[in-house]
Structures are given as structure tokens and as C-alpha cells.
Amino acid sequence: MTMKSLWNDKEAAKFKGDLGQRVYTSRLLGRDKSLVLHGGGNTSVKIRERNILGKEEDILYVKGSGWDLETIEPAGFSPVRLLHLLHLAKLKALSDPQMVNELKTHMTCASAPAPSIETILHAILSYKYVDHTHADAVVTVTNTANGEQRIRDIYGESVVIIPYVMPGFELAQVCARQFAREAKRSTVGMVLMNHGIFSFGTTARESYERMIALVSRAEKYLARKSSWKIATRAAAISKTPLRTELASLRWEISKVAGFPAILSTCTNSQTMAFAQRKDVAKISQQGPATPDHVIRTKRLPMLGRNVETYTKRYREYFHQYVRATKEKKTMLDPAPRVILDAELGLCTVGQTAKDAAVAAEIYLHTIEIILRATALGGYRALPAKELFDVEYWDLEQAKLKKSGKPPVFTGEIALVTGAASGIGKACVDSLLARGAAVIGLDLNPAIEQMHKRSDFLGVRCDVTSETAVAIALDCSVKAFGGLDMLILNAGIFPASRRIEVLHGDEWRKVMNINLDANLLMLRECHPLLKLSPKGGRVVIIGSKNVPAPGPGAAAYSASKAALNQLARVAALEWGADRIRINIIHPNAVFDTAIWSEAVLASRAAQYGLSVQQYKKNNVLRTEVTSCDVAELAAEMCGPLFAKTTAAQVPVDGGNERVI
């Protein structure tokens, strides 16, 4: 089945003007991941506008750096003076840094994003609308030994074929010369070998639908050659928990990379079938489908199935990488982005969860491209030198230098219990804000939809169940690769009950949730925390009732006091494992689930206070919020507390009984 146009007249009518239509069709392209992935592809439109001096000039609006076509807005297009671009195209030479400077300094809006590096290429094509994608079907055909002839067979004079040239000024010049020589009246597109495809038109719809038609022709060609639908044998997926193995692998990767890394695992029939192919060591080592993906999906070492083999292969890979780059002044981190394993399937690595997710999505498409190209006669990526040049391109190096200092928890992983509301939810937000990937556990099913982002995983989990906790941790490690920080927050605060009427069932329920479940979490998380690249960190959410219990709270006070002692013992036992454990004792935090109106009124009445008086019944006469506790919990996981363990810190506004 070939792709179809997604154009809808009613939708299109909502997008006004030439730029609005450009936005609409760009989004249509972005919806189809077989055309563009995560920032890939480019679109542009040429518009005549009147400047501040009242003179009309032609402006090229081209997709700006950092924007995805699927979600692009008018502000995502960079307006560059077309006449200057055409003059630049006539220069004999222009370095990449010079080109970037010229593009930026000739925009009509200083706040617009940096123009695409292919801006000059869009400028020299004399069409109002220009679309550029990395269509899987087209890239599949170009990445074969006789790809150019196959492209000619598919398109004839409909496209001009450009041999591979690294993106930038030289590519624009090559395209200008070759297009001028070879374009016919029937030409509606241009294929860049090993790179992608262009289409053009006088309207946004025409350019977009030409792209769809051109890509469909490549898909039909692959179908005729029995290279579109690839049959793969059913591969067995391991049911054995691989928590420790994955955490060990992440530890090795982080050591090679020089920073904590996220390791995301995709184990399904597609990735398992590919990883278990007898020829996978050959077909997977040639390189990515397009040079645009070289940074995010570096070539990988094939791995064995035990930690010793992982370690050995990574060290070999690291030394090879250093030798290959010894003449460069700057070396990108040497950790590969993609790992294939016969039992794990596909693992992707990133400095952030988003980076790892992007690499996974790109490589899933790469698997399809490799298999189709193999069926067509053999997959052949660009030579290693071309890929190396892209990786050490001046513009890529400039991006690294400008990236700035990452957030404090970048590449690290945190787990929070009781995360759907109150202190737990606030802890999730504080950790995410500091760059961590976060797993939230809660009985409330709302946890699964609490955040829709690549660095958050919500898992519905009964933390008193060993089976449920094991499943949750397996999911967590599969998603992110390990665990660095553990915030134990889940607990209950029962209605006030004096000891003489306290039933055993109620006592046991409180102990089970507030104490036993935390022992279970500590025990099961210890092997993962021990493998944290920067050392494991645990924060226990205790209570003011530990140093100063109140009447009617025997079960709660006893459970928190026991948890406090458990944390102190763990601090003693786990210090040698580089795991530090600290405790926060909040009091009167009323924006949490355990403080129902009834409980709050009951507690206030015991002290002869109104509810409002009770909320600020502390030395500082201030209200303590979940956010206050969460911020301290996050800081306790950071460098400020790097040499502190077994500390007990109150967050209570000053309690006279504690003081």
C-alpha cells in the first residue's frame, strides 16, 4: 500500500496566506514518519514583502533550526533575503562558518531561529514552494550498489539526480549546476543520493502532493521487486528479568561516554528478528541510512550476552574510536548510540531520554531500510570517511560548543513512589526540571497519563506487592537503563485513633504500607543504585512525628519511626556501595492526598485551633507546601549533599516540640 495525500480542504482553509499554507503542508509531511523524523527534512516558500523602508523584496522563508515539521508554527520559519542568497550562490567558495554568518545577518527578523544549512539550496531552486524529505522508500533505493540506475528507472526525467555531497554551500553549487543542465519541463523533483528527495510547486498543495506522488513511485517499485513487505521469522522474546544486566550495560556505557547516559531498550518481534539474523554483524555495521542520522545513530559494536563481554567490547570500541580521532582537536563522546543484542533486541543510548527515544525511532526506520535494500540486492551506506566528515563537521562541533552546561541530573534516572499527587507529584516535577528521567509509581491509574513526555514513565503499582514492584522495576530499567535516585514517599495517614481502640488490622495495614513496602523498595532497588554512575541516592519522606509524635497517631508515628531507623541502618550498610541515604521530616503539608478535610479538621480540633490556624501552627507562622518538600528532596540528590548521608532535615516551619 502506497502513501496517500493527507490534504484536507477544510483544514487547509484555516491556514491563511502563503506562509500559512507552507505551515500546513509542512505539518502534513511531518505526520508521516516514513518521510521525516525528529527535525529532519526542510520546507520553504518564497514571498514578496514590503520592508520598513517601503520597498518590496523577495524573502525566502525556510524551516529554522530546532523545529520539527510536524509541529512547526509560522515562527519556526527563518526569513532570509533571497537576493543575497542568490549572490552567495555565485561565489567560488564559502566556508560553513561564513555561510552561517551570512544567513543569520541577512534575516529580516532577529528573533527568528537560525536558517537551515540548506537555505542556499532552497534559494537557487526557482520555485515558490520547495519540499525536502528523507523518505524511507527513496533512501532505500539510493542505498544499494546500483541505486542511481534504479532511481533513473523509477523516475526518468521527473527528477534530477545529484550524487552525494555533504550538505552546505558545495551541495548548493552542485545542485545549481546540475539542475540547470538536466532539468526538463517534466521535472518536478530532485533526488540527492544517500540523502533524500526534493519536490517543487507553484502552490503548497502542488509541491506537497508531488512529494507524495514521487515517494509512492519508489514504494511501488520496491513492491514490484518484492522488497517492500519484508517477511521476518518470529523471534522469541526473553521472559527473564534483565534488570541487572541492563543496569550493568548502562554503567559501562556511561563510563566510556564520560557522563551518565540513558539506555532505552526496545524488545519486540521486529528488533529481535533483526538482531538475531545471521548476517546482522555485516548489514548493521555499514552506517546509517542518511548522513543526517550519523550523530544520533553511530555505528555500533556487536555485543555478547554477559557483562564481561560488554565490558571487553566497549573497551575495544573506545580505543578504536580514540585512534580514529586522534588528529582532531575535539572528540565527540565515543559511546555508540545503537546496540543490537540477540536477547535484548534494540538498545539506544542518549544523554537524555529524548535523545535515546529519537535514536530508537530513527533506527527502527533504518532496520526497515536495511532489510528492504538487502532484499533489493544489498544495503550500501555511505563510505566511512563521508560519515566521519559529517560527525566532525564544523557545524556539528559548533552545536556542541553552544549547547551550554546541561541540567544537573541530565542522563540520570529517578524513581518516586506515591507520585500521582502531593509531595510525590511535586518531587516528579522538581526532578524533571533538573533534567532527570523520572519513573512515577502510584496505585492511582492517573499516574500513567500524568506527563506525556519521553523522560517520564508512569506505572500503576501496588508497592506492597513484590510481584507488582518487580514488574514496575523491569519496565523502568527497560525504559531508561537503571536507577540513580529513589524517593520513597508513598504512605498513608489514617484517621485519628487512640491506642485503646486501635484495631490490629488497621495497625498492620499502616505498617505494611509505610514500613514493609519501603523495605521491599530498598531491597529491590539496591542492585540498581549500586550501579549508578555517580553513586546512588535515596531520600526518605519521613515525618515530624518521628521526633515528636502526637496523640491519636500511634500507628502512623510508629511506622515512620521504624522507617527512619531502617534508613539509618541502610546508610550504614550501603555507604561502601556509594549509596547515600537522607531523610526529610515534613510537617503540616496540607496539599497532599492523606490530608482529607475530615482528617485536617480532626487534627485542628485536637489542638483547639481553626483549620487556617492549624495550617500555620509553627514558629515561622508559614505554610509548608509539597513543592517545598520536593525541592529539598531534589537538592538532597544533588551535589550540595554529595558528602552527606543519614541526615534528618525538618521541613516544618519550625516546630516547638521538635526544637
pLDDT at 529 over 70: yes
- What integer pLDDT is reported at residue 231 of this predicted model? 78
Question: Among residues 482, 382, 373, which one has the least CA distance to residue 140?
Answer: 373
Q: Is 503 exposed, middle or buried (0-12, 13-18, 19+ CB in 10 A)?
A: exposed
Identify which of 245-249, 298-302, 321-325, 459-463 has the greatest average pLDDT: 459-463
My answer on whether 213 and 311 are in the same domain is: no
Q: How confident is the model at residue 403 (pLDDT cuts 50, 70, 90)?
A: low
Q: Is 435 left (phi over 0), alpha (psi -120 to 50) or beta?
A: left
Domain holding 545: CATH number?
Answer: 3.40.50.720
User: Which residue would you say has higher pLDDT here, 166 or 221?
Assistant: 221
Contacts of 467 (CB under 8 A, 6+ apart): none
pLDDT at 199 over 80: yes
Q: How confident is the model at residue 549 (pLDDT cuts 50, 70, 90)?
A: very high
CB 254 within 8 A of CB 534: no
My answer on whether 525 and 455 are in the same domain is: yes
Domain holding 283: CATH number?
Answer: 3.40.225.10
* DSSP class per residue in 62-107: EEBTT--GGG--GGGEEEEEHHHHHHHHTSS---HHHHHHHHHHTB
Contacts of 21 (CB under 8 A, 6+ apart): 12, 15, 45, 203, 204, 205
User: Which residue would you say has higher pLDDT here, 519 or 180?
Assistant: 519
My answer on whether 361 and 424 are in the same domain is: no
Distances (CA, A) of 3 to 6, 33, 199, 204, 607: 9, 11, 16, 18, 70
In a domain, 325, yes or no: yes
- What integer pLDDT is reported at residue 604 of this predicted model? 87
Q: Identify the domain containing residue 587 by its residue range.
A: 413-593+624-651
pLDDT (average), residues 451-475: 97
- What integer pLDDT is reported at residue 326 of this predicted model? 47
In a domain, 51, yes or no: yes
Domain count of the fold of the chain? 3
In percent, the amount of the chain with pLDDT more than 90 equals 68
Give residue-wise pLDDT tens across range 628-658: 999 999 999 999 999 999 999 999 999 999 9
pLDDT at 92 over 60: yes
In a domain, 598, yes or no: no
My answer on whether 387 and 439 are in the same domain is: no
pLDDT (average), residues 135-153: 94
In a domain, 480, yes or no: yes
Q: Say how far apart CA 294 and CA 302 lie, in whole Å.
A: 17
Q: How confident is the model at residue 288 (pLDDT cuts 50, 70, 90)?
A: confident
My answer on whether 205 and 104 are in the same domain is: yes
User: Which residue would you say has higher pLDDT here, 13 or 318?
Assistant: 13
My answer on whether 352 and 455 are in the same domain is: no
Strand partners, 414: 438, 485
CB 461 within 8 A of CB 389: no
Specify the residue for cell string 530508537.
360
Q: How confident is the model at residue 151 (pLDDT cuts 50, 70, 90)?
A: very high
- What integer pLDDT is reported at residue 300 of this predicted model? 45
My answer on whether 467 and 361 are in the same domain is: no
Identify which of 226-230, 264-268, 380-384, 507-511 has the greatest average pLDDT: 507-511
Q: How confident is the model at residue 391 (pLDDT cuts 50, 70, 90)?
A: very low
Q: Say how far apart CA 605 and CA 600 lie, in whole Å.
A: 9
Average pLDDT, the chain: 88
225-239, 253-267, 544-558, 587-601, range with the lowest pLDDT: 225-239
User: Which residue would you say has higher pLDDT here, 297 or 210?
Assistant: 210
Show which of 345, 370, 402 is a domain's final residue.
402
Q: Say how far apart CA 148 and CA 154 lie, in whole Å.
A: 10
My answer on whether 577 and 463 are in the same domain is: yes
Specify the residue for cell string 543520493.
193
pLDDT at 401 over 60: no
Show which of 373, 402, 431 is a domain's final residue.
402
My answer on whether 435 and 361 are in the same domain is: no
In a domain, 219, yes or no: yes
Show which of 341, 368, 402 is a domain's final residue.
402
In a domain, 614, yes or no: no
Radius of gyration of the chain from Cα atoms? 29
Q: Say how far apart CA 312 and CA 320 lie, in whole Å.
A: 12
pLDDT at 182 over 70: yes
My answer on whether 249 and 218 are in the same domain is: no
Q: How confident is the model at residue 214 (pLDDT cuts 50, 70, 90)?
A: very high
- What integer pLDDT is reported at residue 275 of this predicted model? 86
- What integer pLDDT is reported at residue 584 of this predicted model? 98
User: For the sheet containing 338-341, what is the strand order?
Assistant: 262-266, 345-350, 338-341
pLDDT at 83 over 50: yes
- What integer pLDDT is reported at residue 63 of this predicted model? 96
My answer on whether 251 and 217 are in the same domain is: no
In a domain, 619, yes or no: no
In a domain, 237, yes or no: no
pLDDT (average), residues 339-356: 88
My answer on whether 427 and 461 are in the same domain is: yes
- What integer pLDDT is reported at residue 122 of this predicted model? 96
18-32, 248-262, 331-345, 640-654, range with the lowest pLDDT: 331-345
